[in-house]
Amino acid sequence: MTSRDLGGLPRAPRLTSQQLATLRCPCDVLGLGMLVLVLVGLFLFAPPVGILGIAGVVAIGLSSAIRQAALVGIGVPIETALGSDWARQVEHLLEATGRSPGSVRVVVLNDPTPNAFASWRPGRGGRVIALTSGLVRLVDGDAQALRFVLGHELAHLCLHFPLLLLVALPSLLPGALGRLGVLLRLAGLWWSRHAERSADRLGAVLAGSPVTALQVIVGLHQGTLPSRTTLVADLERLTRPSGDVWHVLSEALSDHPFLTSRLTALLSWAARADRASWWTPVQAEEWRWELAELGFFPDHLAREAAVRA
């Protein structure tokens, strides 16, 4: 597969399982491990309550998977909806993450709301990414933006499923376990927010551009992809902390990070990841200069930019 086959984009780095693991934020790993240990502990030391809690989580997780699978069933395969070039992007990203061709299906749903989600269920063909027609219109044929979206959802399939079904939606636990259930619910939401940040990291790496990742995230918020010239002003406005205690509390009860913390976390990580082992020297240089142009990088790069100009 040549660069031309990929819409003129360079090939995404091929990531080993160890390199994939390094993309996970520490709180993602810590939170998932903590939740699994709690559920196992309940099962071992309080069998009736543990069985009830785990059964409730599994039931909710499976019902969610069945609901999403039903939606996916009415979707149109990406090669039919958007053409073979976009289907080749999918195969390339599967190869980059060590997945075999055809192991993940991508479908397009007729829904004007820009959105994407990953669905998992046991068995062959059980890994699916669904894009809405609204999201397709949002990216407007931008293959790099599509890479970020697909990479984000691939991260959930590679790093978080099927355990996500067990710990991300424990809605029955507060009633079944009392105060412990409430704490476990809050911990599950906390973990889920960090899982989203991990997914943003893989999306940015597969897109090959931190700027594209930021454009898509901002675009999902405002309904149109910002241009690179307006992105800096958008980021200055959107990453400004509100300092509102109600904002902080609202985010604590959400399973997705709010826009300000999501953008800030991605920028902070991207500035540290410019020399990561998965990049070729050329890709690392491009990543560094994109960040420098946004003004989110160490001062020595700004001095280099002035000399280079």
Each residue's pLDDT expressed in tens, for the chain with a length of 309 residues = 333 345 567 778 888 787 787 788 777 777 777 767 766 766 676 666 656 666 666 666 667 667 666 777 788 888 888 888 888 888 989 998 888 888 888 999 999 999 998 887 766 667 889 999 999 999 988 889 999 999 999 998 888 776 666 665 455 554 555 666 677 778 778 888 888 999 999 999 999 889 999 999 999 999 899 988 888 888 888 888 777 788 888 888 888 899 999 999 998 888 887 777 777 777 788 888 888 877 765 444 444 444 444
State residue 16's pLDDT score.
79
State residue 89's pLDDT score.
86
How far does the chain reach from its first CA to its final CA, in angstroms?
Answer: 35
State residue 303's pLDDT score.
45
Name the nearest CA neighbour of 168 among 252, 27, 57, 71. Answer: 57
**Are 169 and 56 spatial neighbours (Cβ–Cβ below 8 Å)?**
no
State residue 47's pLDDT score.
67
Burial of 4: CB neighbours in 10 Å, binned 0-12, 13-18, 19+: exposed
